[in-house]
Structure 1
């Protein structure tokens, strides 16, 4: 690529028209469906949609949201840019250089921009906060159910068939649950976080997602039922749940939790099967299990073996920080490292 890149703000309609010419589904976080969620969460708002061009040809598009941390602000292109041409190291470098120049002028308040890139480079930094991943499992839902099951590992097929025979377990969609009903599920999430050693948001964040994303978010719950004296199943207790997003014919795990009873009964396996078959029936073409452990994401090693039961692990672009104010960014890094050291 030899042409000088330039960047323009574009409308949502133009953004989608370009983004959908790419080879992959548009990530929900890059689409307009995500905007109401950004608006609902304190300290976040959608900022702009941009097109990066070489002459008259669009190279990539990107949607950016503004985030406010404790004492600093930054921009995040979750699962962006969306590439419209071959994603070479040189093109990535040129796009970042153009973005840096644009953002320093148009967003002088931003300390850094967080975006995704395939190729490591000297201007890409490990994230100051949060977890990224560079490997996942993506299921092809255009296959028949038999072929999908056949693509599972031997152990995954065995567990799936076994849990489907468990008549004491049901899976239902409960996307319209009330805050009071969600308390049962949030208690399971707290148990999961304490067991596996990760942090979680207040329950309001997940409820805001359910409300603001509308038809693009689904909550699936696995329940275990005792049998009454008449032989009928009694109302079930939640043991595991998954919150999925669905956009541009693609689904994705977003949050998931399971208690010890779920682990002992393979409820998470049953949940995955019920989700993918339900979405397949609706015409959804792929389902992303959203991240497995790797050298870049060691904190996700605990779910790598579980998710590998459903298919082959594939590479995806991880997130990186790109400093817009290098000195300010270094100071933030020092402050955060000092804070973590004090906690330890």
Structure 2
């Protein structure tokens, strides 16, 4: 198996023959959006050739962060036919050999690899996932509802009756001013333990991808205040729930159920056939298990996907990054432990 660099026209021609939509991250539109993010540069389009047959294609980005470079192919390679472990092993070796030979300064390449291979490593800093929920959004609103689990249908019907929000596509409104949406995202980050990207990143995403590929859908309460919203990406007939945020005060009032159902119906009206709710937990990614109760009720089946894994291109440099990462995590853990002890001490003194 051999990896060959190709131009976009050849990449697009191969993609059109696959018979299913590319993941949004493997499209030219996504590469254009990524160019607007500091430290990210399109690296090229490639095809994996097995003898005389094209086996897969992949779009690769160059990421510069914390003083080093790495390459990333999100949800790539995109295989024409599902590979077995031997084919994936050959592909990983071909990709590593080609990228190392291109003179890149990248320390590793991060890509989707279904099987745990000797050449792969767990990702340094992101949380990969190997399962997701993909909702069939064909056939209209009632058909979408009928295919949910009983618990999902019950919660959606309750939300439609009682959830105090009105849902709408607010893509253009968010582009004009993102302040009220960002306020909800900051609150979500404080609750769930993450730091949101700058507000400008979300606006740029909506602007560069455009309404053909990216929409913001929101729910507002009786006073007209945004209490929940999501950004959905669209690639052909596949939509993905990329970002989502909600206020703490509405967590138990089924507003998120109402918005997700609205999103499913809206994506169906836009011509999509599938709506990927993007990532749930498993033994591979136990830290995401908290997502399962909410997401799995919207579909009777769980889909397996190839998770991100790192493939070192410069092993010594990659080993140094792994060690540095361990030290950072250890220091953070010591600070958290110290803070917890201090809090317990203050309470006991009181």
TM over 0.5: yes
Q: Give the SS at the match of 2:171.
A: coil
User: Cα deviation per residue 1:226-265 (whole Å; 9 max; x = unaligned)?
Assistant: 4xxxxxxxxx111100011001211001110111233132
**Stretch of structure 1 that moved more, 241-250 or 198-207:** 198-207
**Stretch of structure 1 that moved more, 55-64 or 207-216:** 207-216
Q: In the alignment, which residue of structure 1 is the partner of 2:303? A: 314
Query: Normalising to structure 2: TM-score of the pair?
Result: 0.90
Q: Any conservation in 1 of the 2:189–2:196 contact (CA below 8 Å)?
A: yes
Answer yes or no: is 1:61 the counterpart of 2:57. yes
Pairing partner for 2:69 from 73, 78, 95 = 73
Q: Give the SS at the match of 2:145.
A: helix
Q: In the alignment, which residue of structure 1 is the partner of 2:332? A: 343
Answer yes or no: is 1:290 the counterpart of 2:282. no
Aligned partners of 2:290, 2:163: CA distance in 1, in Å? 29
User: Cα deviation per residue 1:44-78 (whole Å; 9 max; x = unaligned)?
Assistant: 01110001112221011111000001111010000
Pairing partner for 1:174 from 146, 170, 175 = 170
**Stretch of structure 1 that moved more, 273-282 or 179-188:** 179-188
Uncovered stretches (5+) of structure 2, i.e. residues with no partner? 334-350
Aligned partners of 1:336, 1:41: CA distance in 2, in Å? 24
Aligned partners of 1:85, 1:78: CA distance in 2, in Å? 18
Aligned partners of 1:152, 1:95: CA distance in 2, in Å? 37
Aligned partners of 2:119, 2:294: CA distance in 1, in Å? 34
Q: In the alignment, which residue of structure 2 is the partner of 1:301? A: 289
Q: Give the SS at the match of 1:309.
A: helix
RMSD value, Cα:
1.6
Answer yes or no: is 1:263 the counterpart of 2:251. yes
Q: Any conservation in 2 of the 1:22–1:82 contact (CA below 8 Å)?
A: no
Aligned partners of 1:189, 1:110: CA distance in 2, in Å? 32
Q: Give the SS at the match of 1:161.
A: helix
Aligned partners of 2:156, 2:116: CA distance in 1, in Å? 38
TM-aligned CA deviation for residue 168 of structure 1: 4.1
Aligned partners of 2:12, 2:217: CA distance in 1, in Å? 29
Pairing partner for 2:201 from 192, 200, 205 = 205
Aligned partners of 1:95, 1:190: CA distance in 2, in Å? 41
Pairing partner for 2:9 from 13, 17, 23 = 13
For this pair of structures, how many residues does the alignment match? 331
Q: Give the SS at the match of 1:265.
A: coil
Q: In the alignment, which residue of structure 1 is the partner of 2:137? A: 141
Q: Give the SS at the match of 2:123.
A: coil
Aligned partners of 2:103, 2:243: CA distance in 1, in Å? 31
Aligned partners of 1:342, 1:207: CA distance in 2, in Å? 35
Uncovered stretches (5+) of structure 1, i.e. residues with no partner? 227-235
Answer yes or no: is 1:85 the counterpart of 2:73. no
Q: In the alignment, which residue of structure 2 is the partner of 1:327? A: 316
